[in-house]
Amino acid sequence: MFKLIHPIPAFTDNYIWAVSSKADTRACVVDPGSAAPVIEYLQAHKLTLSDIFITHHHPDHTGGLDQLIAMYKPRVFGPKQSNIRGITHFVGEGSQIELFDHSFTILEVPGHTLDHIAYYYAGSKDQAPVLFCGDTLFAAGCGRLFEGTPEQMHASLNKLKLLPEQTEVYCTHEYTLANLRFALAADPANQRLLERLQNEQGKRKAATPTLPSSIRLELDTNPFLRCADPSLVQSAVAQLHRAPVNEVEVFAALRSWKDRF
Ligand SMILES: [Zn+2]
């Protein structure tokens, strides 16, 4: 198992996840948009940076690369569809990479951007499965479609839906409460959503991250994973003023409603 998977806050609402090795002082960070908070964390815990995982090209996920590479010379994994400066290992669908004797599989999940990938560890008897999914699947939400189509994002989310339900979901932003407010508008009769809102509000009041989430929790409460559910279909009808022809249209209607919410 890993020693720790720890959120390093950055900017206003980003988390840079730091994964530390149980066996030694190595650490990996995911999407270091800024170098300073990472360096501060590594120094405070006497860790050295051996690896970086990049999920996509946006600057709030890559802005710290130059400085961290200059200081630590880590391996840098990132999407082969991108030309992000500093990547040493380009990976794509099905690529296997080793981190502290744990094997991660790469999933291509285009939609938020075209180059977006996720890092999945299948778990062991003492470590739950782990997913680093950047800006694709959020707690109770999903990323905006800056580059991809609704079809692509819907397919990407469907890929993540198939992961084991106990998978811990580490996304990159603390958007959970705003996402839950939208989720309640779209899926108002969902009792699990009301419970989740209370629970997550309690965490934020205590200044605790709402992450990680889990695939189970997202299946129960995330409107973008529930496009086949009659109450979400009904919400899509209200947006489209007609019956959606398929699940992708339900997804697209919800996503564009959320953009204006
Ligand atoms: Zn992004």
pTM listed for this prediction: 0.97
Of the residues 51, 56, 102, 154, which is catalytic? 56
Of the residues 57, 61, 102, 154, which is catalytic? 61
Is 173 an active-site residue? yes
Q: What's 4-260's CATH class?
A: alpha beta
Q: For 176-192, how does the pLDDT look when each residue is reduced to its tens digit (9 = 90+)?
A: 999 999 999 999 999 99
- Going from the Cα of 56 to the center of ligand 1, the distance in angstroms, rounded, reads 7
- Going from the Cα of 61 to the center of ligand 1, the distance in angstroms, rounded, reads 7
- Going from the Cα of 31 to the center of ligand 1, the distance in angstroms, rounded, reads 10
Distance CA 180, CA 195 (A): 11
* Long-range contacts from 244-248, C-beta under 8 angstroms, 24+ separation: 247/154, 248/150, 248/151, 248/154
Of the residues 60, 116, 154, 187, which is catalytic? 60
- Going from the Cα of 135 to the center of ligand 1, the distance in angstroms, rounded, reads 5
Distance CA 16, CA 13 (A): 10
Map residue 256 onto helix, strand or coil. Answer: helix
Q: For 121-175, how does the pLDDT look when each residue is reduced to its tens digit (9 = 90+)?
A: 999 999 999 999 999 999 999 999 999 999 999 999 999 999 999 999 999 999 9
- Going from the Cα of 91 to the center of ligand 1, the distance in angstroms, rounded, reads 18
Of the residues 116, 135, 154, 187, which is catalytic? 135
Answer left, alpha or beta for residue 180, where phi above 0 means left and psi between -120 and 50 means alpha: alpha
Domain residue extents for the chain = 4-260
